Structures are given as C-alpha cells and as structure tokens.
Amino acid sequence: MARNKFDIDENLESPFNIRHFRRAIVYIKKQKTPMIVAFVLSALSAGIALSAPLIMQHVVDVTIPEKDTLSLVGWSAVTLATIVISVILATIRSRIMTRVGQDIIFEIRTDLFKHLQELPFQYYDDRPQGKILIRVVNYVNSVSDVLSNGIINFILEILNLLFIAAFMFAVDVKLSLVILAGLPVFIAVILLIKTRQRRAWQAVSNKSSNLNAYLQESISGIRVTQIFTREKRNEGIFTRLSVNYRSAWMKTMYLNFLVPFSVDNLTTMVTTAIFFVGLLAMGPEEATFGVILAMSSYASRFWQPILNLSNIYNSFVNSVAYLERIFETLDEPVTVSDVPKARELPPIQGSVSFDDVTFAYDPGLNILENLSFNVKAGESIALVGPTGAGKTTVVNLLSRFYNVTGGKILIDGHDISEVKLKSLRSQMGIMLQDSFIFSGTILDNIRYGKLDATEEEVIAAAKTVCADDFIREFEKGYLTEVNERGSKLSQGQRQLISFARTLLADPRILILDEATSSIDAQTERLLQKGLNELLKGRTSFIIAHRLSTVRNCDRILYVADRGVAESGSHDQLIAKQGRYYKLHTAQKMEA
C-alpha cells in the first residue's frame, strides 16, 4: 500500500485484540501504588456520598413529622459534612491521578521516541513525517486518561453500582426492580453501536493523521509554496482534508451521543415509573413518600454510574483506535540492528569490499545487482553517473542504513552485517546531501557527533572547511543560535557547518555525498586545500555531479545499469572515451 501520501488513509496492519490492552497494562502497573491510593479515596468519597439519600429518607419520614428541630439541624450538619469530605477526597484523588496520567504519557512517549530512533531509513521513506508525529504527541495524550483514570473509574463505577443496588434493595425491593428494568434496553443499544463506534473512531484517526501530515508538509515547504504562488491551491487541499476530518468527527459524535441520550431517557422513564408504581400501584402503606423520594434519588444515582461507564466505554473505543496506532509503531521491526552475538568492529584501516551485492528498495526492483569492487585503505573513490543510478545507495549500504538484499560488504575483512552498528558508524564520517542543522548554537551543531570535543577542536574543524571566517562574522560567533534546519543560514553556510561536524569525528572512512554542491567556486577551491590534507590516510567515497571536484581521486567509478559500468582514474577514463568521457565532455561544453 502507498502509505507515503497525506491523502491516503493508513489501514492497520492487524486488527485490534485484547493483547494490545494487556500491553498497555504494563505502563499501568508501574503506577500501581498511587492508583491504589486514588482508588481507596474514590471509594471512600463515593460511599460517604451514598449516605445522603438515607439521611433524606429519615428526615422526611421521621424528623420532619416529629418536628424535631434539633435533629433536623444535626442531620443538616451531617449532610454538609458528607459533601465537604467527599469533595476533599475527590480533589486529592484528582491530583494523584493527574500525576499518574502524566507519568504514563512520559513512559509511552519515551518508548515511542526510543523506538523511532532505531527504525531504519526505509520506515521514514514510506510515510509522511506528520503521520509519525501525531502518534507520538496527539495519540499518546488521548490514551493517557483512559489508562489512568479510566481503569480506576471503571472499577469504581462498578462498585458504585453494587453499593447503590445494595442500598436500593435495602430500602425497597419492588421499586429496585423497576429501576433495573431499563438495563436490557441500554445493553441492546450498546451492542447495536459498538462495532460502528470503533470503525468511526478509526476513521477519525485516519483523517486526523492525514490533516496533520499535510500541515507538516506545508509548513516545511512554505517557501516553495510562496515562490510558486500555490497558496490558494494548497488552501483548497487543506480545506478538503479538514472537511473530511469534520465529517468523520461528526459521524462519530452522533454515535457517541446515542449512549447518554439513551441513559437520560431511561433515567426519566424509570423515575416516572417509580412514582407511578410507588404512589398508584403500591400505595402509602407499602411505600412512604420518604421511600419514594429516596428511591427516585437512587434511580438517578444508579443510572449516573451507567452513564459514566458508557462515557468510559466511549473513551475506551476512542483510545483503542489510538492504541492500535501506537502499538503498530512500536511493533515496526528494526530491520537494521545488531544481530545476535554481534561483535565490536575493532579500529579499522579502511579497506572496503563489495562482494556480489544486490539491493532493492522495493522487492523485485533491483537498484544494484551483483556489484563487486575493492577499495584499498586510504584510497579516494569518486562515484559518478546519472541521477538515480545508485551512487547514494552504495554509500548508504556501506553505512548500513539499509541491509543488502544479497551479497555482503566487508571492511578490513569484517562483514558489516555482523558487527555492532555503533562501532561501525563511529568510525565513519558521513555527510549526506541534506545538510540538516538542528536548533541550537553553531558550536553545538558542529559538536553534535562528538560531545566531548573541546572548543579548540571545533574551531580547528571549522577552519579546515573554511567555515571559521563567516561564523566569526556573527555577533556571538560560535554561540550564535540558529533555527531548526538552519533557516538563518545560507545553503552554503549550512553545508560548511555540516562538513565541520563530519570532519570533527576524525573518521577512518569519509563519505561525502554532493558535499560541495552548494558552495561557490572560490570557497570550494579553499575548501579543497583542507580536504586534501584531511583525505590523506583515510578511505573516502565522494559523490559529485561536478566532475572537476573528483578528477584528482585515486579511482572513479561510473555507476550505471545496476552496477559499475566503468572504473579507473580520470586520465584512464578520458582515454577510454566511454561514458565518463561523454559526461566530462558534456560538462566542459556547458561550462
């Protein structure tokens, strides 16, 4: 399924089952002690509140007829005390559960973020960032209350029902049966709409995810939008997605409101039936006016927990849709990870061998096929060729951002699929085409991959790549704050800072993917001097479309037709007058 579009609903890979909820219990168990305290407080508060109808019955049937003013004042004070104590206990419980809910959010969100950090590039290739973000933020927020308050409230409301039923039957059995007569109707309503509710909430989840994905994409691409005056067109797309979300939400709300609507009407009918049965059918001998008032109060109290349970049920159905998304993310396989018994990659010299390597992003569509070549330690290798031929794929496989489909890749004779990822990547310096700058200071960005680097080491790396001069032109120099993605910097400046970040790691294997594409010719000439010193003794892979930047490499690999079509030095390939010669000639004519 094409999941990497904002306007396509994400169908769940597997249907929800109770196992998902049992997994959620793991987070609840960590908050067991405060939840037990909150439950006890809730039970005490509810038990104290249930005494009010009995007090009312006694006052109506005994205290008022006897005109006992002193007792009336006493019972009023007792009633007020029950209300105050009940409110105090409920407030303490609410504060406890607020903290519990936030702790559960923290645990789930931390697990999600940790897992997302480990997922391979392929996962992010397949879906918009907005659909990932909404799971970590919105969906986790949505399930926290159900996993904290929802559990306690469910148990508490069940106990409330039992307590209320006990009080009811203690007051009058026949009128209690009248109150219970509405239950079969309510159960029928729940059974009728439960499947439709779950599907409706899944639709809301899908439309919300789509809307969030498009919003994130639009914000990221706002400059392009304004350049091409696409505002009206994009507004139309956003409106369509918003309308879809609103329609899904309204349909869900119609179903949700059926439950409280049913409870409200059943409460009214049951209360009416109590007065009818109590006053007309049973008579004052069997049911005094105090008994009828107490039972009508208990009727309202009996259906209130049922209404609360129905709301908890609605929240649970809602949260089920979100839990499915959350656990689907947590269940995403980490396909690029340390294999069992993976070993540390020792300090390397830098020899690299591709041994019959085949790779496909999508099954059956090979990008590389039976690719084999050897690189000696310290050699500089240029990868050139047409767009989409697989140049970046070669270095991505060497960095093990993806697993090879077939064959193997060796560094100093070690199969990289059998060594620990951290030990592999810590000895490689990789600068990808996207010069990503994080929010923070320039110093922090350069030191991103080597946190223990001194300020002097940072400055030395910046000087090597000719970034020191423009950094010092800022008022705060290396302590200058930059925005997310480095929006305050030019593309060339971002690339030079990324270059310094890569070089600071002092790697044995250096990968430069279009490293100088956004740098002017004068800066590139200055940078090349520093690079020539840096590349000495290091194995390097350099991808470049401008052939002038790679002509001094030890070897040039022309990547095409799912493999290496030509290989040799610049002079050798020019003399061969093959594909590289034609590309070189074409660029000279364009210049």
Task: Identify the pLDDT of residue 279.
Answer: 64
104-133, pLDDT tens digit by residue? 888 888 898 899 888 888 888 777 777 788
Task: Identify the pLDDT of residue 520.
Answer: 65
Task: Identify the pLDDT of residue 522.
Answer: 66
Q: Mapped to the 3 state alphabet, what secondary structure does 315-362 carry?
A: HHHHHHHHHHHHHHHHCCCCCCCCCCCCECCCCCCCCEEEEEEEEEEE
63-90, pLDDT tens digit by residue? 888 787 888 888 888 888 888 888 888 8
519-543, pLDDT tens digit by residue? 666 666 666 665 666 677 789 999 8
**Distance linking the first and last C-alpha atoms of the chain:** 44
**Which tokens in the block code for residue 113?**
């973020």
Task: Identify the pLDDT of residue 435.
Answer: 72
Task: Identify the pLDDT of residue 486.
Answer: 61
Task: Identify the pLDDT of residue 533.
Answer: 63
pLDDT band (50, 70, 90) for residue 487 = low
Taking a C-beta distance cutoff of 8 angstroms, is the pair 530, 523 a contact?
Answer: no
274-333, pLDDT tens digit by residue? 777 766 656 566 667 677 777 777 777 777 788 778 777 777 766 776 787 788 888 888
Taking a C-beta distance cutoff of 8 angstroms, is the pair 504, 423 a contact?
Answer: no
Mean pLDDT, residues 233-245: 89
Rounded distance between C-alpha atoms, residue 184 and residue 187, angstroms: 5
392-421, pLDDT tens digit by residue? 899 999 999 899 999 999 999 999 999 999
Rounded distance between C-alpha atoms, residue 168 and residue 136, angstroms: 46
| pLDDT tops 60 at residue 356 | yes
**Which tokens in the block code for residue 29?**
């168990």
Rounded distance between C-alpha atoms, residue 565 and residue 331, angstroms: 41
Instruction: Please state the φ and ψ torsions of residue 17, each to the nearest 5 degrees.
Output: -140, 170
> In the block, which residue shows the tokens 């996207």?
434
Which among 267, 209, 265, 271 has a CA at the least distance from the CA of 241?
A: 209
Taking a C-beta distance cutoff of 8 angstroms, is the pair 587, 546 a contact?
Answer: yes
- Highest averaged pLDDT of the listed ranges 184-188, 354-358, 533-537: 354-358
Rounded distance between C-alpha atoms, residue 476 and residue 454, angstroms: 18
44-67, pLDDT tens digit by residue? 887 777 777 777 777 777 788 878
Q: Which CATH number fits domain 348-427+511-518+539-591: 3.40.50.10260, 3.30.420.270, 3.40.50.300, 3.30.70.920?
A: 3.40.50.300
Question: Maximum Cα–Cα distance for the chain, whole Å?
Answer: 121
| pLDDT tops 70 at residue 97 | yes
Mean pLDDT, residues 181-209: 79
Kindly report the average pLDDT of the chain as a whole number: 81
Rounded distance between C-alpha atoms, residue 368 and residue 390, angstroms: 7
Rounded distance between C-alpha atoms, residue 368 and residue 408, angstroms: 13
| pLDDT tops 70 at residue 3 | no
Instruction: Please state the φ and ψ torsions of residue 516, each to the nearest 5 degrees.
Output: -115, 20
Q: How far is CA 571 from CA 319, 374, 386, 427, 554, in A?
A: 65, 20, 20, 32, 11
pLDDT band (50, 70, 90) for residue 1 = very low
Which among 28, 8, 4 has a CA at the least distance from the CA of 323?
A: 28
Residue 299 CB contacts under 8 Å (≥ 6 apart), including other chains = 179, 267, 270, 271, 274
Taking a C-beta distance cutoff of 8 angstroms, is the pair 53, 104 a contact?
Answer: no
| pLDDT tops 70 at residue 100 | yes
Rounded distance between C-alpha atoms, residue 291 and residue 303, angstroms: 18
Could you please report the per-residue DSSP string of 502-531? HHHT--SEEEEESTTTTS-HHHHHHHHHHH
**Which tokens in the block code for residue 368?**
């590389």
Length of the chain: 591
Which among 211, 177, 164, 180 has a CA at the least distance from the CA of 46?
A: 164
Which among 503, 400, 411 has a CA at the least distance from the CA of 449?
A: 503
Domain boundaries, the chain: 18-330, 348-427+511-518+539-591
Q: In what order do the strands lie in the sheet with 539-543?
A: 428-431, 509-513, 539-543, 380-384, 555-560, 563-568
> What share of the chain in percent tops pLDDT 90?
17
| pLDDT tops 70 at residue 13 | no
Mean pLDDT, residues 440-462: 88
Give the 3-state secondary structure of residue 448: coil
Taking a C-beta distance cutoff of 8 angstroms, is the pair 325, 140 a contact?
Answer: no
**Which tokens in the block code for residue 348?**
């390397």
Rounded distance between C-alpha atoms, residue 345 and residue 287, angstroms: 86
Mean pLDDT, residues 152-169: 78
Taking a C-beta distance cutoff of 8 angstroms, is the pair 447, 453 a contact?
Answer: yes
| pLDDT tops 80 at residue 17 | no
Q: What is the DSSP letter of 148?
A: I
Task: Identify the pLDDT of residue 423.
Answer: 92
- Which is it for strands 406-411 and 352-362: parallel, antiparallel or unpaired? antiparallel
Which among 577, 443, 535 has a CA at the least distance from the CA of 497?
A: 443
Rounded distance between C-alpha atoms, residue 105 and residue 145, angstroms: 9
- Which is it for strands 414-415 and 406-411: parallel, antiparallel or unpaired? antiparallel
Which among 130, 30, 116 has a CA at the least distance from the CA of 331?
A: 116
| pLDDT tops 70 at residue 434 | no
Rounded distance between C-alpha atoms, residue 583 and residue 591, angstroms: 12
Task: Identify the pLDDT of residue 286.
Answer: 66
Q: pTM (2 decimals)? A: 0.67
Q: Which architecture, in CATH terms, is 18-330?
A: Up-down Bundle (1.20)
Distance of CA 307 to the CA centre of its chain: 32
Q: Do domains 18-330 and 348-427+511-518+539-591 have the same CATH topology?
A: no
Task: Identify the pLDDT of residue 2.
Answer: 41
Task: Identify the pLDDT of residue 532.
Answer: 67
Task: Identify the pLDDT of residue 186.
Answer: 80
206-238, pLDDT tens digit by residue? 888 888 888 877 877 777 787 777 888 888 888
